[in-house]
Amino acid sequence: MLRTFHKLPGLLASVLIVVLALSGVILSTIPALEVAVTPAAPVAQMTVAELASNVARHVSGVTDITRQASGSIVASFSTQTASGADLIDPNTGAVLGPYAPSGFVIWMTNLHRSLLMGNSGRWVTGFTAFAMIALCISGAFMLAQRMGGWRQVFSRARGTTTQRLHVEVGRFAILGLLLSAFTGFWMSMANLQVISNGLDAQPAFPAAVNGGTPLPIAQLDALKSIPLSNLRDLAFPTDPSDVFTVSTSTGQGFVDQATGQMLSWLPHGLMRQIYETVYMLHTGQGFWSLGLLLGLAALCAPIMAATGTVIWWRRRRSLPRFAHNHTAHSSDTIILVGSDGNATWGFARTLHDALTAAGQRVHTGPMNSLGKHYPHAKRMFILTSTHGDGAAPASAKAFMARLEKIPHAPDFPVALLGFGDRQFPKFSQFGYDVAEALDTKLWNAMLPYDTIDRQSVQEFARWGRDVGERLGIDLTLLHQPEAPRARLLELVERVDYGDEVQAPTTVLRFMAPEGPKTLWQRITNRNGLPRFEAGDLVGILPPDSDMPRFYSLASSARDGFLEICVRKHPGGQCSGFLHSLEPGDQIAAFIKPNPDFRPSRGKAPVILIGAGTGIGPLAGFIRGNVRARSMHLYFGGRDPRSDYLYRDELEGWLGERRLTTLTTAFSRIQDRAYVQDRIAEDAHALRKLIQRGAQIMVCGGRDMAEGVMEALEGVIAPLGLSTVTLKAEGRYVEDVY
């Protein structure tokens, strides 16, 4: 719901927001430019009477004096031969030159206020400002939700480059954009008379004017009591029976030119005071530095619009489309999906199509869309995978929180199906967590919780038969997995390790097969490779298998090659296939971004901890550290004579200062040790790095990662920190298998 509330105004008003933002940026510089060319104000506090007297001596036929928000003085005049306006020196009243407002500024102002369409345009700009308010507020709540709470809104942004840019720019500009949008909306509504601008009432014109001989202007007591800094406008009388009309920052009144007395005065009410403040905050008139800051914030709006549109389009394109997908409120069957990619969505589509063919009205959506009430639902299916070490996948991260807010269990049954890979210790763990939560909330189970190992179509078909029996229908689930869009890669080099310690491990380097390269590929040194970064994942399809295996990348596309580090597992179909490759052999592969496992931006130190093949992405980070950022590697293996992975490269990177320090631990030598032992030994040095804001990155097996976490808890405890705190701040990240 929050994402929809954020998305709709952004998509509908994005072009208008960009137009208003860019025109606002230009107008925001005007107050500063006016201040720069405005003569310095008088040293002594000048009154309106003094200024008016000086101007009357220098400007023949003066009819009006206006003090602009920048402090510049403009005098209008009208004689039998000419009329116009002059810019006045506030110290002497002398004419500095003719006052001629810029035609460009006038045009830009009209564009910003009304899109050059008069009152109709004011309505459009008003509602555009309201859309911007909605975007700022919903964006702030989404940011807090994404970062793990309001206390974490300024922690490290995660995600793709576009997502990080959207978050970082939004955090910088949100207060300025919200202030500009709110004040702009208020001014639009005031100018359209939807709300008052405080000028609804005027001071009563005096019934009796003295009409005697006018006093010298400098002697008019009412004008002598008004400081020049308070003046807005002073209109001169046209005949002996007329009066001076004065407008100030506090009110309006009429002054008798013969007696110098204030005949009538109306102070500004609350609404006018609000409007004056809103006008100043929105335009920067009278507060030019704020105007420049708001202009800088407005300059971020086009960036926000562009990145937001890209994020929306990528998310929309990544979601599978379902035929005959009815709304949740009108459907009798609800299917909710938890997935990081398209695999689980593919199984959901098979179920969706089969139930639709059986005559049911089906709605399929992400688990994050779980609602409190489904008025026509008779059954629900939940299909979910597990992310990493038992975490919720992307489309299910909000599911548990939504489930907790539902006060009563529905009266329809639920069937839960988990997807995973039994080779991992926490196989389908998130599915088990969901099952426990549903049991706690007393939701009625249609079937016992079931799981699918390695996307087995046979197990899925068996589960479908069980569902069909429960529903009393013939339900045949013939799932045909969609093969990911893979491309061919050719092995160009391999380096073998570990045979002597019964842990055969190979570093494999691939390139695109020979063929024509685009100019952009040559410039970026990608050599026909897809775009990827070290730490991303490459999915590899072994022969006679539809299920890819994923390996962390030890290079980026800028290196001109794709590199992985693979240990051969007994009976491992994909690892055995990769270890059998020789230079010249080809594989089918695709990239899966892993933006949460990358060094944070900035100059803070990075502590890299890995064992075995876990060094792969860490080596990629070091390889890409061309700016010599402080990087400290802890690497664990079995025997330095056999499985010291990347030994030559690491020594070279130390010399090039891409790697600051290297600490090793080997478990099958006389001085045996594990990386967690080295961490405990280096506690003092590590504490200093962490106090400097260091980020910790851990990659490797689950047992190693748990030992490292336990050792680090002891290291950082004296600092009043914990690994939980560091994780919340994005300073402790893992890629664990």
Q: In this structure, are 417 and 431 located in the same domain?
A: yes
Residue 480 domain flag:
no
pLDDT band at 261 (very low <50, low <70, confident <90, very high): very high
Q: What gap in Å lies between CA 436 and CA 400, rounded to an integer?
A: 11
Which of these three, 471, 497, 525, is where a domain ends? 471
Q: Does residue 570 form part of some domain?
A: yes
User: Residues near 313 by Cβ (< 8 Å), separated by ≥ 6?
Assistant: none
More confident site: 569 or 506: 506
Q: In this predicted structure, which of 372-381, 456-465, 512-521 has the lowest mean pLDDT?
A: 512-521
36: number of Cβ within 10 Å: 9
| Residue 407, domain CATH | 3.40.50.360
Determine the 3-state secondary structure of 450 from DSSP.
strand
Q: Are strands 95-98 and 83-88 parallel, antiparallel or unpaired?
A: antiparallel
In a domain, 95, yes or no: no
Where on the phi/psi map is residue 472: left (φ > 0), alpha (ψ -120 to 50), or beta? Answer: left
Q: Quick check: 520 pLDDT over 70?
A: no
Count of Cβ atoms closer than 10 Å to residue 442 Cβ? 8
Long-range Cβ contacts of 687-691 (<8 Å, 24+ apart): 687/715, 687/716, 687/718, 687/719, 689/605, 689/607, 689/630, 689/632, 690/607, 690/715, 690/716, 690/719, 690/721, 690/726, 690/731, 691/719
**pLDDT greater than 90 at residue 315:** no
Nearest to 170 by CA among 157, 159, 160: 157
Whether the predicted pLDDT of 514 surpasses 90: no
Res 441: pLDDT: 92
- Residues 11 and 586: their CA atoms lie apart, in Å, by 43
CA distances from 667 to 32, 272, 448, 499, 663 (A): 68, 78, 44, 16, 14
* Range with lowest mean pLDDT among 20-24, 187-191, 532-536, 651-655: 20-24
In the block, residue with structure tokens 């592969």: 589
Q: Are residues 159 and 244 in the same domain?
A: no
CA distance 344 to 348: 6
Of 563, 592, 621, the position where a domain reaches its end is: 592
Same domain, 193 and 206: no
Residue 4 pLDDT more than 60?
A: no
The domain tally of the chain equals 5
Is 670 part of a structural domain of the chain?
A: yes
Measured distance CA(147)–CA(70) in Å, rounded: 42
**115 in the same domain as 172:** yes
Where residue 414 falls among pLDDT bands split at 50, 70, 90?
A: very high
**pLDDT for 710:** 94
Residue 220 has a pLDDT of: 94
Residue 163 falls inside a structural domain: yes
Does 681 lie in the same domain as 568?
A: no
Which helix (DSSP H) or strand (DSSP E) does residue 140 occupy? helix 118-147
DSSP H helices in 148-255? 161-191, 221-224
Q: Mean pLDDT across the stretch 581-595?
A: 90
| 613 in Cβ contact with 643 (< 8 Å) | no
Residue 373 has which token pair? 């009430």
| CB atoms closer than 10 angstroms to residue 668 | 15
What is the distance between the alpha carbons of residues 381 and 450, in angstroms, rounded to a whole number? 12
* Judgement on whether residues 386 and 306 belong to the same structural domain of the protein: no
From 471, 505, 535, give the residue that closes a domain.
471
Q: Which is more confident, 235 or 423?
A: 235
- Per-residue confidence (pLDDT) for residue 10, from 0 to 100: 58
The answer to whether 698 and 610 are in contact (CB under 8 A) is yes
Give the residues across from 590 on adjacent strands. Answer: 539
Q: What is the pLDDT of residues 362-371, one digit of tens each?
A: 999 999 999 9
Is residue 159, in this structure, part of any structural domain at all?
A: yes
Measure the CA–CA gap between 676 and 704, rounded to whole angstroms: 8
Looking at this protein, which amino acid is placed at residue 204?
A
Q: Which residues contact 299 (CB under 8 A, 6 or more apart)?
A: 21, 22, 25
Alpha-carbon dihedral sign for residues 247, 251, 254, 257: negative
Q: Are 237 and 257 in contact (CB under 8 A)?
A: yes
pLDDT digits (tens, 9 = 90+) for 134-176: 888 888 887 776 666 677 777 777 667 788 888 888 888 888 8
d(CA 208, CA 256): 10
Percent of the residues in the chain that have a pLDDT greater than 70, as a whole number: 93
Residues facing 247 on adjacent strands: 233, 252
Dihedral pair phi/psi, residue 14, rounded to 5°? -60, -45
How many percent of the chain have pLDDT more than 90?
A: 47
**Is residue 481 in a domain?**
no
Which secondary structure element, helix H or strand E, spans residue 684, and what is its range? helix 683-691
Q: What is the CATH number of the domain that holds 497?
A: 2.40.30.10
Is residue 197 within 8 A of residue 275, CB to CB? The reply is: yes
Least confident segment among 25-39, 246-260, 418-432, 691-705: 25-39
pTM above 0.75, yes or no: no
- Reported confidence tier of residue 501, pLDDT bands at 50, 70, 90: confident
Domain match, 13 and 116 both: yes
Within a domain: 445: yes
Residues 307 and 330 in one domain: no
Q: Is 565 exposed, middle or buried (0-12, 13-18, 19+ CB in 10 A)?
A: buried
**Same domain assignment for residues 290 and 339:** no
Q: Work out the number of other CB atoms within 10 angstroms of the CB of residue 208.
A: 7
Asked if pLDDT for residue 415 goes beyond 80, the answer is: yes
**What's the pLDDT score for residue 43?**
46
Dihedral sign, CA of 315, 317, 322, 326? positive
16: number of CA atoms within 13 Å, CB side?
22
User: Does the structure show a pLDDT above 60 at 572?
Assistant: yes
- The three-state secondary structure class of 139 is helix
pLDDT digits (tens, 9 = 90+) for 89-103: 988 999 999 988 888
Identify whether residues 585 and 615 lie together within a single domain: no
3-state secondary structure at position 542: coil
Tokens 């079995």, located at residue: 638
Q: Which of 504, 508, 509 is nearest to 643 (CA)?
A: 504
By residue range, what is the domain housing residue 391? 321-471
One domain, residues 434 and 561: no
Work out the pLDDT band at 518, boundaries 50, 70, 90: low
Cα–Cα dist 179/652, whole Å? 53
Residues 168 and 310 grouped into a single domain = yes
In this predicted structure, what is the pLDDT of residue 243? 92
Burial 505-544 (b: 16+ CB within 10 A, else e): bbbbbbbbeeeeeeeebeeeebbbbbebbbbbbbbbbbee
Res 342: pLDDT: 74
C-alpha 84, offset from chain centre: 51
Contact (Cβ atoms closer than 8 angstroms) between residue 374 and residue 365: no
Question: What CA–CA distance (Å, rounded) separates 382 from 450?
Answer: 11
pLDDT of residue 5 exceeding 60, the answer is no
